[in-house]
Structure 1
């Protein structure tokens, strides 16, 4: 807690962004967009985002909002542009964002490899665009399908078992002093954003065209490929985790379910195993 409080003088704008995200996916879209506008104004004033980067984001959000009114080839082209725009933001390819470094070569435990973490400004903005383009992602709640939900949850311990067996992780129980900033960043800026894009948007769109099974598999594989920079093993692990999240979303129609599956896996990884891997 002390570490988190010490960062508040520089991290408070991100709390506005998190509030905007939470409001938007909870069905209070107007409040979410108002908070996003407040965050954008704050970020511009503080120099966290350049005017050009702000214009690129604004154009993307306006274009995403207009996708609902397109059909046929125009809609297909528009969604392709939205996907490329989202991937560019997620991969930090658009300059003009100050992603604050909050953890610099830290170790979760003595046997864990050192890693760094930023509070991203660019990637979380993808959530608002895909929600504008595909608002039904938070409107499809259904009675829970128990079998696929349990199947998805069963994947998580199996995935940790494979990780230990292959040496990708090792058991290490720890709770580093910076856990709270990790939770806020990972839950909202990472997991919520990624699940909105890969499950709420891509999986929903794919299943509407090619069916549930292929849609879940395709979205999971795309999620894995998005982690290609970490190497082939990470692609495989991420694809399997994506399948668990995809089953959770299919089973309930509630976006928060895959978000919590995704975050739960990451939190258990941090608390019970070497994170992100053994030193």
Structure 2
């Protein structure tokens, strides 16, 4: 991949497209769609996508057409149901047709850390891109002057609470470092992981439930808490400690979303992940083998 010009073009387009989805500059929708289309076309030419993946892209396109505001309510419901089922399958990597390239293979950030493997995923981010591009109400109506204070407040709460909890649970300890693969980790975590997860859990679940239930305080709080609980359950593969930690972090991301929109939620999520990556054991301490 390092010396493959087509791979460089693929990921440059996808990263820039993801940045447009998140930052939403002027005419962002057209720019994001064009960049992502170029990136996924190049991925197909590079044999990272097969016909099954193209069929899934077609399903997402059909679902996006079905959920537009002027469609019949039953058609919109079917579109959302198709999307949710597809998004869950994409997020757990069970759909065929995607050959996600491995860029970090079982490396240890510190001697006592568990091995860390990282892929540049082509499947999971599609669920986040769909939300922002297909749903008109996801267009950011918050200014950066709202996003930055919201991010600062959420991080001021999330960093000490989550990291102290992680240390107390025996998951990490203080371990400042700058790994040699930091740049690719930053690009992947910010533009693929955080954008996709926040678009779904905060934008789609929290924002969608708030719209569905009404914008009263009870509805907003219920949507906020439920999105955090679901975010915690989404980390079931790591065990109950990761689920607890993710749920607590999800409350902070939801607070950022309420005050500063998707931009703030993504910044908060990435900020906490970056503190974890650069200053503590990553991804976690190596657990002793069970007898």
TM-score if structure 1 supplies the norm length? 0.90
Q: Report the 3-state secondary structure (helix = DSSP H, G, I; strand = E; otherwise coil) of the residue aligned with 2:2.
A: helix
Q: Would you say 1:259 and 2:262 are equivalent positions? A: no
Q: Report the 3-state secondary structure (helix = DSSP H, G, I; strand = E; otherwise coil) of the residue aligned with 1:117.
A: strand
Q: Report the 3-state secondary structure (helix = DSSP H, G, I; strand = E; otherwise coil) of the residue aligned with 2:104.
A: strand
Q: Specify the alignment match of 1:154 in structure 2.
A: 157
Q: Deviations over 1:19-42 (max 9, x none)?
A: 112223315111111112211221
Instruction: Output aligned runs, 1:179-258, within 5 Å.
Output: 179-210=182-213, 211-253=219-261, 255-258=262-265
Q: Distance between the aligned counterparts of 1:259 and 1:194, measured in 2?
A: 8
- Which range is displaced more, 51-60 or 86-95? 51-60
Q: Specify the alignment match of 2:84 in structure 1.
A: 83
Change (3 A) 1:101 1:148: closer
Q: Specify the alignment match of 1:14 in structure 2.
A: 11
- Which range is displaced more, 165-174 or 151-160? 151-160
Unaligned ranges ≥5, structure 2: 214-218, 287-291
> 1:103: Cα distance to partner?
0.5
Instruction: Output aligned runs, 1:135-154, within 5 Å.
Output: 135-141=136-142, 144=146, 150=153, 153-154=156-157
Q: Distance between the aligned counterparts of 1:186 and 1:147, measured in 2?
A: 20
Q: Would you say 1:268 and 2:275 are equivalent positions? A: yes
Change (3 A) 1:149 1:265: closer
Conservation of the 8 A alpha-carbon contact between 2:169 and 2:241: no
Q: Distance between the aligned counterparts of 1:264 and 1:8, measured in 2?
A: 31
Q: Specify the alignment match of 1:278 in structure 2.
A: 285
> 1:149: Cα distance to partner?
6.7
Q: Deviations over 1:114-136 (max 9, x none)?
A: 12111111111112211233232
Q: Report the 3-state secondary structure (helix = DSSP H, G, I; strand = E; otherwise coil) of the residue aligned with 2:4.
A: helix
Q: Would you say 1:168 and 2:175 are equivalent positions? A: no
Q: Specify the alignment match of 1:107 in structure 2.
A: 108
- Number of aligned positions between the proteins: 273
Q: Deviations over 1:79-127 (max 9, x none)?
A: 1221111111111111111100110110111221112111111111112
Q: Report the 3-state secondary structure (helix = DSSP H, G, I; strand = E; otherwise coil) of the residue aligned with 1:31.
A: helix
Q: Deviations over 1:173-195 (max 9, x none)?
A: 11111111111111111011111
Conservation of the 8 A alpha-carbon contact between 2:52 and 2:97: yes
Conservation of the 8 A alpha-carbon contact between 2:151 and 2:267: no
Q: Over aligned residue pairs, what C-alpha RMSD do you find? A: 2.1
